[in-house]
């Protein structure tokens, strides 16, 4: 049994190092022949900890999300295998296959959020809010975006666009605003802890602030960190992340 557990640990270290760019403490996952008798519970724990956002699985139990959407297909090979772990004697080969499946489904969940035109509910109102925020003296997300994130040309564009009425604003204008916001999502300067807490204090915002403190964020982490912050800052103007493109 000791030999099996040692092999399991080695496999898990390799697996976890490959499946995510985030720092991983292999010791936090108790992967043994005994724990794999509850394969879905183990997979849920890994997917939750390795996912940047719970939005990836719609804030549900990850495996439940995967099965209800038939990503893990009912009576399919993967489901049959995972169910067999509940009763069979676990081998090293089973552990390796379990790890590959967990990595596979983490990749199925993983997505990089990008705004589509329809994700901005009211472009005119969003532009107006950015301009109003730019002119206030106290810290807000809007002021931070306009003074820190936007370039001078981008800020001038927003200020000029705000002079247009709703009827004067074209589809081309709306698309340009959407593309501009997507560019902002890729910038390190976008996220501001003080501003996000002024919008909402919750488990989500606490997790986002903690993630923002990482020294080296991947492009995926940075984009999704900022996307979630944008959703929280403009709930009445930006649709929920589940509706965004990728």
Span 7-51, pLDDT tens digits: 444 434 334 334 443 333 444 667 778 889 999 999 999 999 888
Could you tell me the pLDDT band of residue 211, with boundaries at 50, 70 and 90? Answer: confident
The answer on 94 and 139 residing in a single domain is no
Place of tokens 């950015």: 130
Mention every residue, 6+ apart, whose C-beta is less than 8 A from residue 1.
Answer: 33
Point out the domain boundary residue: 77, 109, 141. Answer: 109
pLDDT value at residue 35: 87
The answer on 78 and 134 residing in a single domain is no
The answer on 132 and 38 residing in a single domain is no
CA atoms within 13 A on the CB side of 10: 7
Number of domains in the chain: 2
- Spatial separation of the C-alpha atoms in residues 88 and 141, rounded to whole Å: 54
- Spatial separation of the C-alpha atoms in residues 87 and 205, rounded to whole Å: 41
The answer to whether 16 touches 175, Cβ cutoff 8 Å, is: no
Q: Is the pLDDT of residue 116 over 90?
A: yes
Q: Which domain range does residue 91 map to?
A: 2-109
- Predicted TM-score (pTM) of the model is 0.75
pLDDT value at residue 31: 76
The answer on 87 and 157 residing in a single domain is no
pLDDT value at residue 88: 92
């Amino acid at each position: 049994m000791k030999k099996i557990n040692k092999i399991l640990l080695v496999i898990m270290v390799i697996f976890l190092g490959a499946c995510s760019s985030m720092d991983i403490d292999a010791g936090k996952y108790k992967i043994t022949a005994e724990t794999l008798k509850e394969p879905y519970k183990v997979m849920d724990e890994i997917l939750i900890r390795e996912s940047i956002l719970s939005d990836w699985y719609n804030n549900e139990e990850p495996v439940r999300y995967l099965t209800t959407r038939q990503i893990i297909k009912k009576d399919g090979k993967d489901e049959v295998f995972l169910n067999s772990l509940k009763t069979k004697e676990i081998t090293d080969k089973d552990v390796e296959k379990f790890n590959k499946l967990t990595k596979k489904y983490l990749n199925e969940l993983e997505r990089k959020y990008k705004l589509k035109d329809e994700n901005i509910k009211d472009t005119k109102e969003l532009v107006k809010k950015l301009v109003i925020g730019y002119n206030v003296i106290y810290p807000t997300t809007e002021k931070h975006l306009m003074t820190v994130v936007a370039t001078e040309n981008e800020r001038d564009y927003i200020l000029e666009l705000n002079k247009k009425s709703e009827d004067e604003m074209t589809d081309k204008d709306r698309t340009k605003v959407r593309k501009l916001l997507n560019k902002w999502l890729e910038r390190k300067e976008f996220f501001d802890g003080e501003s996000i807490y002024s919008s909402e204090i919750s488990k989500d915002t606490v997790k986002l602030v903690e993630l923002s403190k990482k020294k080296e964020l991947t492009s995926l982490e940075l984009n999704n960190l900022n996307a979630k912050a944008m959703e929280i800052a403009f709930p009445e103007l930006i649709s929920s992340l589940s509706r965004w493109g990728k």
